[in-house]
Amino acid sequence: MSAPIGVLDSGFGGLTVLRELRRALPHHDFVYLGDSGRAPYGGREAEAVLDFSEQCVERLFAEGCRLVVVACHTVSSVALRHLQARYGSETRRVLGVTIPAAECAVGATRGRIGLLGTARTVASGTFTTEVRKLADVLVVERAAPLLAPIVEDGWEETDVARAAVRRYVATLGDIDTLVLGCTHYPLLRRAFEGALPPEVTLLDPAPWVAERLVDWLARHPSFASPGTGRLRFLSTGDPARFAELGERFLGEPVGEVEYLAERGGALVPAVRVVPRGQLVR
């Protein structure tokens, strides 16, 4: 029986990574968990990111996954080493997006790399650390907290989006390579292309993440478990909203979304009940 690959994100953005993973591994099954009910993670304290990501990884293992790809740059920057130390074994692995992003940037740069991401991603300094392991180059990281909400509201092609992108790009100074360090930002590609000088390389790490996963599976064949290309979606938020927004990020209809609720510190399948009026605990 094939084991699906788990893909973890704080919400919708990781679907841009899932899209590339499916292109690279079309015969593998995937289970995507978007913690949209507790998103965004980018402004959360690090301890909260650790707690939430533990629950998500444990749920994906419970769904039969043996390999989990952390598609969220915030979780990968803050919690990946913790998740690997806690859950990694001969039969279970957790991989992230930060090292592939650093590798991709170093391969493209002429010496001056910029990254835009969430406040928590930037505060961690993990991307700079990984780049410096590979090359002695300048790295400038800046938080861009307005961009993800702009994308989720569907404002990618508006003057508001273009103005915000220009403002954030201007804070990076003289760079030759810009890394989109949040999985929402690929939906703003046109705005970024309009804001950047033509000599600046714009990088979405997702295709490189997929390429590196293919290579990793070739080197770890016991985790390569092709199936039928089946997709399942789990969400801690409104399943209908997840399906609606998810189609924009994934580039195809999402279909059924299974709801998860937090019970006793764990994420479990549940029936979603929308409370109305005053609540008494």
Please identify every residue annotated as catalytic: 72, 182
For residue 246, give every residue at least 6 positions away whose Cβ sits within 8 Å of its Cβ, in sequence order, or none: 12, 15, 34, 233, 254, 257
The type of residue at 192 is: F
Beta carbons of 256 and 233 less than 8 angstroms apart:
yes
Identity of the amino acid at 80: L
How far, in Å, CA of 241 to CA of 186, rounded?
Answer: 20
For the residues of 228-246, what is the DSSP string, one character each? S--EEEEESS-HHHHHHHH
Q: Determine the Cα–Cα distance for residues 249 and 15; give it in Å rounded to an integer.
A: 6
Tokens representing 92 are 């279970």
Cα–Cα distances (Å) from 248 to 59, 151, 152, 252, in that order, read 25, 10, 9, 7
Closest by alpha carbon to 225, among 14, 72, 31? Answer: 31
Distance CA 128, CA 249 (A): 27
CA distance 244 to 255: 9
